[in-house]
Chain A
């Protein structure tokens, strides 16, 4: 039986308990689950589109919701659903456009694993479609500027925060900490990757000095926000949040590997950098440090390469027979490695 079929059966069995939870959470007399459809594309979590009819309570009537639960194979580095729920609330309070987080359920009696429910947003997230279909969201410079502002709002969240105390404390040196983390990940894969080691060594030698520390989204890129014909409807996929250098989120957004083939549109394949930077600077009052961003773009390719290798390893060692994961581990790393090498040729090594 496929994963999807197993999940579908589990949800069907949980229907009475889920309806009872939803009614209680919404303070409604009752909640009827009219539709439940799995959303594809979650290697780490399961997403369900729900249509629920509430009888009274906080959200009376028919509501379009998303239920997000941990998947069977969690990635250790990502947040739990309970933690993600807390981050989503913090982001919403900071003025970031996100799907409204509604209710968290940590009682395993309901679904067998923790989940939360949020309002469903309409729109398209797929990166390949967004870079090609210009009817989405209208003016692309305006979209890039808006995304810059959104990112700046995420970065207004700074430590310490009692509601986000589960996030690992910011290291004294985010860049060198990242180098060490990715080396440890490579070691765990038990295969040699000299091309990635080249890039990591460059990153070690050229690490920018520690500076400001803010909340990072750490997967803020084309493919992880929703657009409709008018513009942005929400920033998604908050499971990799952590503390660090604000310029690293900008580097991730602009990295070559997240332009979906639109190489000349350096801000996420949708626009030049200028409007994205303009929005970010206007909202944050912080200058975009181009050198730091360039550094974090090298790191972005290394990070994505390591994650892709980890996903591939789940089929090799983890006994998880998935063609999608296997191809991820095989297809992406060589191109990412070439990009890293292109950014770090011998003349780009400054003797220290």
Chain B
């Protein structure tokens, strides 16, 4: 629990100040950098707002692929953080995919899609919306 206004609110205010007031005063050749800075702030704010929600969803998806649930299954370290669990299970899935153990597996496909969409939502929500609109049109399957 942070004092208010918290990190995301501060980042949004800072970003608005940068884009609305500072950027128009900048010479043309520095505006690109200002937009990079604004983008970094937007990503950091979205990440902070999302908290552990997406990581937790990814962990559950991965865990379901490997029946890796319960208190201490399959050599899982005692006090494993969410990031550590995701990294461990991601390594396992990556190796299985490379080794051909999960070819065309629809459950794996669903987990990977959800995870990529969540990561895209954090860095570029507009692109995700466009992507989902295309999927809905049924022309998302390029093959």
A348 at the interface (CB under 8 A from B): yes
CA distance A333 to B116 in the complex (A): 9
Contact with B along A197-219 (1 / 0, CB 8 A): 11011000100000000000000
CB pair A343 B123 closer than 8 Å: no
A345 contacts which chain B residues (CB < 8 A)?
Answer: 109, 141, 143
CB pair A349 B90 closer than 8 Å: no
CB pair B143 A294 closer than 8 Å: yes
B100 contacts which chain A residues (CB < 8 A)?
Answer: 201
B97 contacts which chain A residues (CB < 8 A)?
Answer: 194, 197-198, 201
Q: How far in angstroms is the closest Cβ of chain A from B50? A: 13
CB pair B91 A324 closer than 8 Å: no
CB pair B43 A330 closer than 8 Å: yes
Among A20-28, A59-67, A334-342, the one that faces the other chain is A334-342
A256 at the interface (CB under 8 A from B): yes
A108 at the interface (CB under 8 A from B): no
A348 contacts which chain B residues (CB < 8 A)?
Answer: 141, 143
Decide: A342 near B140, CB < 8 A? Known: A197-B97, A323-B37: yes
Contact with A along B58-96 (1 / 0, CB 8 A): 000000000000000000000000000001001101100
B87 contacts which chain A residues (CB < 8 A)?
Answer: 191-192
A240 at the interface (CB under 8 A from B): no
A17 at the interface (CB under 8 A from B): no
A109 at the interface (CB under 8 A from B): no
The count of A-to-B residue pairs whose CB atoms sit within 8 angstroms is 101
A198 contacts which chain B residues (CB < 8 A)?
Answer: 97, 108-109, 112
A272 at the interface (CB under 8 A from B): no
Q: Which one, B94, B104, B115, B142, contacts A342 given CB within 8 A?
A: B142
B117 at the interface (CB under 8 A from A): yes
B105 contacts which chain A residues (CB < 8 A)?
Answer: 346
CB pair B36 A324 closer than 8 Å: yes
A166 at the interface (CB under 8 A from B): no
CB pair A341 B116 closer than 8 Å: yes
Looking at A191, A334, A341, which has the most chain B CB atoms within 10 Å of its CB? Answer: A334
Q: How far in angstroms is the closest Cβ of chain A from B103? A: 6
A274 at the interface (CB under 8 A from B): no
8 pairs of residues in contact across A and B, judged by CB atoms under 8 Å: A192-B91, A197-B93, A201-B100, A324-B36, A327-B39, A341-B112, A341-B116, A342-B140
Q: A residues bordering B, Cβ < 8 Å? A: 40, 183, 191-195, 197-198, 200-201, 205, 256, 263, 294, 297, 323-324, 326-327, 330-331, 333-335, 337-338, 341-346, 348-349
A-B residue pairs, 4 tightest by C-beta = A349-B104, A192-B90, A334-B119, A334-B120
